[in-house]
Chains A and B, each alone.
Chain A
Amino acid sequence: MSKLKLIIKREFLAKVKNKSFIVMTVLSPLLMVGLMMLIIFLNEKNSEEIRTIAFVDESTLLSSAFTESESIKYIDLTALGLAEAKLKTESFYDGLVYIPKSTSIDDLSKGIEFYSTDAPSINILNSVENNLEKKIRDLKIEQLQIDINKVKAAETKVDISSENYSGEKSSKIGSVLRMIAGGGFGYLIFMFIIIYGTSVMRSVIEEKTSRIIEIIISSVKPFQLMLGKIIGNALAGILQFIIWAISIGLILTIITYVFGIEAANSGSAIGQMNPEMVQQVHNSATSDLQLILQEIKNLPILTMFFSFIFYFLGGYLIYSSIYAAIGAAVDSETDTQQFMMPVLMPLIIAIYVGFSVIENPHGPIALAFSLFPLTSPIVMLMRIPFGVPWWQIAISMFLLIVTFIGIVWFAAKIYRVGILMYGKKPSYKELYKWLKY
């Protein structure tokens, strides 16, 4: 037991003292925060820019249609006529709306055109179209002699609040939250397995090529060495994740505190909607926040937490022992390709399936892949926030444990023989033979 501890300690220190580990650990949070800042900054810049759209209204009915918003200004160039307005817009403004002459209100919507140097952004087109649609509708209502106030009174906004049979409320926001939580956890496991599995494999190859392996295994059992390596690397990985989480949190807090960027950002997002919507959002802002908090409370947090730990350990142990076996079977990293594909396949499939799972968390595909042990650590975790019957979790966990034992046994056999084999790259047939040594 104490030998296992020694190995874990050495593997952990070897990993942690490595320069690339230190650089990755320190730089990654800075890079990530930097990237986030850049995106926010560009977004800000983008929305700060005010677009000026000119219009020529030959029908004279729609000039009052254009209401300015924070990012779009309208200018009336009807007096100049279309040809001159075009010239002027081309050099001074961002676009020109042309409304041709028409005799009736019904024909108003026909023949409206938009001129601009580049293809217009969807935001601008939406805003122009919304403004025109609303005005024409109002005009039509007036023409039909309907009381506008009555129409307004008839408008209703429906917010369905759904609830499951045990009385837990669910809503759209809740679903989004679940998608984020499930997807995030699944992706985290995926990344961890690939990064630290490869690191286990490299460490095995290093021992093999430096030929120290024979000395080590004349002191400890190969299985102990493999296990120590896997655990040591996992601890280094967990340390890295903790450092990342803390430092990203810290940097973000400092930045929002100093620059107040978050508030500005949410403000500009609202600014892009039209005034009516802004009103709605403002009205519901407080209740939305409450709803989100409520939804977070509604998530099966305890189940999520424990299943994250379980699937994280299970998935990592299965895959890293396969990685260790691959490392033992080859002489150099370039030889690993042949064996990497079958390992990466289920992981990649799991991520792809995962994205469809968060849209339909209880379908047959979701069920199948969350039970299949090579994909369950990712897929099941993505499903759990949506509520999974306990028996499915139980079967999935059982299968994972059985597979884990099987794969570790299998990997240990290949590892034990492989670390002492040098020379040509083994074929799958030879690997099978090794199992019987």
Chain B
Amino acid sequence: MENVLTVDNVCKNYGNFTALNNVSLSVPKGSIFGLLGPNGAGKTSLIRIINQITLPDSGRILLDGENLQPYHIQNIGYLPEERGLYKSMKVGEQALYLAQLKGMSYSEAKKKLKYWFEKFEITDWWNKKIQELSKGMAQKVQFIVTVMHSPKLLIFDEPFSGFDPVNANLIKDEILQLRDEGATIIFSTHRMESVEEMCDYIALIDKSNKILDGKLNDIKQQFKTNQYEVGLTCMDKVALLTEINSNFTTESKKAVSFNEDLRLMVSLNKEETSKDLIQFLNKKAQITHFTEVIPSANDIFLKAVSNN
């Protein structure tokens, strides 16, 4: 698949501190790419380099196969984690100014802004000053400012912080729609449920190094521990449990349904398959539940970071 963005062996040092150590990434076109990592791992440093706010010490960045050039900024939309607008400037004036800085013409910017303001039903804010708006309202304006020049690459740093659930959902739908219209989205967040929900690809950065990247599903495969969650109904719970325990490593779980006597987490060896387990259990009891345990993004995050 074609990559919109390629990060190739990028290093960045601040004095003696290494912010990024030989980081390489590929962001496929039309994907939602989750850039994950603990605080201070180097995500913001990388995002700033992609936005040409700072330059890498070594390595290169390709946008659509071209080395990053100053004119590329009009192809990138960036919503920083630390948001802000000129407090005493009027909303419309400010949005026009920022649009023109991104390289849009005045009339084009005005047309686009009208579209977005109508879409978000905030046309009557045009002549208000930012300081008269609530935080959530200002965030909406900020979102519009980020996307109004229809960039092919959008970078959102914690896009949902500061929004109530209704507006967070609105923004989420907008992001998905932008993706459907052909934009590629890089998404930096700590909220794993939104990663799970939205991201196709992820990369995990920890202590200045990329420790993991790829399709979210592939990574989940990779982190699979060959564990299964089973629910059983039987006559003699204790006897059954001892019998299973003599063959497999288990961990008891709380029973979730009434007609279930036993719920277990069973870990299998590398040689064993689910088939073996089912066959074994089938002989002993009635199986009410059987799933393979797939690690959540949160589990992967915690595991990868603690292993590092």
Contact = CB atoms under 8 A, between A and B. Distances in A.
Interface of A: 3, 6-7, 10, 14, 18, 206-207, 210-221, 420, 422, 433, 436-437
Contacts of B87: 206, 210
A218 B52 contact: yes
B15 A6 contact: no
Interface in B53-78: 53-54, 70, 73, 76, 78
23 contacts: A3-B100, A6-B100, A206-B87, A210-B85, A210-B87, A211-B80, A211-B83, A211-B84, A212-B85, A213-B84, A214-B78, A215-B84, A215-B85, A215-B98, A215-B142, A216-B98, A218-B53, A218-B76, A218-B80, A219-B73, A219-B101, A220-B101, A221-B70
With most chain B CB atoms within 10 A of its CB, the pick from A212, A218, A422 is A218
Interface residues of B, number: 28
A420 B100 contact: no
Interface string B17-55: 000000000000000000000000000000010011110
A218 B73 contact: yes
Given A216-B101, A420-B54, 16 more contacts: A3-B101, A6-B97, A10-B97, A206-B86, A207-B86, A210-B85, A210-B86, A211-B80, A213-B84, A214-B53, A214-B78, A214-B84, A215-B142, A218-B52, A219-B103, A420-B53
Contacts of B103: 219
A226 to B, nearest CB: 14
B84 A14 contact: no
B84 A210 contact: yes
Contacts of A437: 14-15
B80 A215 contact: yes
A216 B89 CA distance: 14
Contacts of A10: 97
A8 to B, nearest CB: 12
Given A218-B76, A219-B73, A437-B14, A6 B82 contact: no
B86 A14 contact: yes
Contact of A14 (B78, B82, B89): B89
A7 B98 CA distance: 10
A210 B142 CA distance: 13
Nearest to A433: B15
A214 B15 CA distance: 21
Contacts, number: 63
B102 interface: yes
Contacts of B145: 215
Nearest to B13: A437
A210 B135 CA distance: 12
Contacts of A436: 15
B101 A6 contact: yes
A217 B53 contact: yes
Contacts of B85: 210, 212, 215
Contacts of A206: 86-87
A219 B15 contact: no
B82 A219 contact: no
Nearest to B79: A215
Given A14-B89, A218-B78, A219-B101, A212 B84 contact: yes
B97 A420 contact: no
A220 B82 CA distance: 18
A216 B82 CA distance: 13
A215 B48 CA distance: 11
B215 to A, nearest CB: 28
Nearest to B142: A215
Question: Counting chain B CB atoms within 10 Å of each CB, which of A3, A215, A433 scores highest?
Answer: A215
Contacts of B84: 210-215
Given A6-B97, A437-B14, A219 B86 contact: no
A27 to B, nearest CB: 21
Contact of B102 (A14, A212, A219, A433): A219
A219 B98 contact: yes
A206 B101 CA distance: 19
A206 B14 CA distance: 25
Nearest to B86: A212
A214 B82 contact: yes
Contacts of B100: 3, 6
Query: Which of B14, B51, B84, B97 gathers most chain A CB within 10 Å?
Result: B84
A206 B145 CA distance: 19
Contacts of A218: 51-53, 73, 76, 78, 80
Contacts of B73: 218-219
Those 9 A-B pairs whose CB atoms lie nearest each other, nearest first: A211-B84, A219-B101, A214-B80, A218-B51, A210-B84, A212-B84, A211-B82, A218-B78, A219-B102
Most chain A CB atoms below 10 A, which of B14, B15, B52, B101: B101
Contact of A215 (B15, B54, B78, B89): B78
Contacts of A207: 86
Contacts of B48: 420
Contacts of A214: 53, 78, 80, 82, 84
A125 to B, nearest CB: 60
Contacts of B78: 214-215, 218
Contacts of A211: 80, 82-84
Contacts of A210: 84-87
A379 B111 CA distance: 54
Contacts of B101: 3, 6-7, 216, 219-220
Contacts of B15: 433, 436-437
Contacts of A221: 70
A173 B197 CA distance: 85
A365 B103 CA distance: 52
A433 B101 CA distance: 31
Interface string B199-224: 00000000000000000000000000
A63 B17 CA distance: 95
A422 B87 CA distance: 19
Nearest to A217: B53
Nearest to A437: B14
A14 B100 CA distance: 17
A415 to B, nearest CB: 13
Nearest to B131: A210
B171 to A, nearest CB: 17
Interface in B80-131: 80, 82-89, 97-98, 100-103
Nearest to A10: B97
Contacts of B97: 6, 10
Contacts of B88: 14, 18
Contacts of B76: 218
Nearest to B157: A214
Nearest to B83: A211
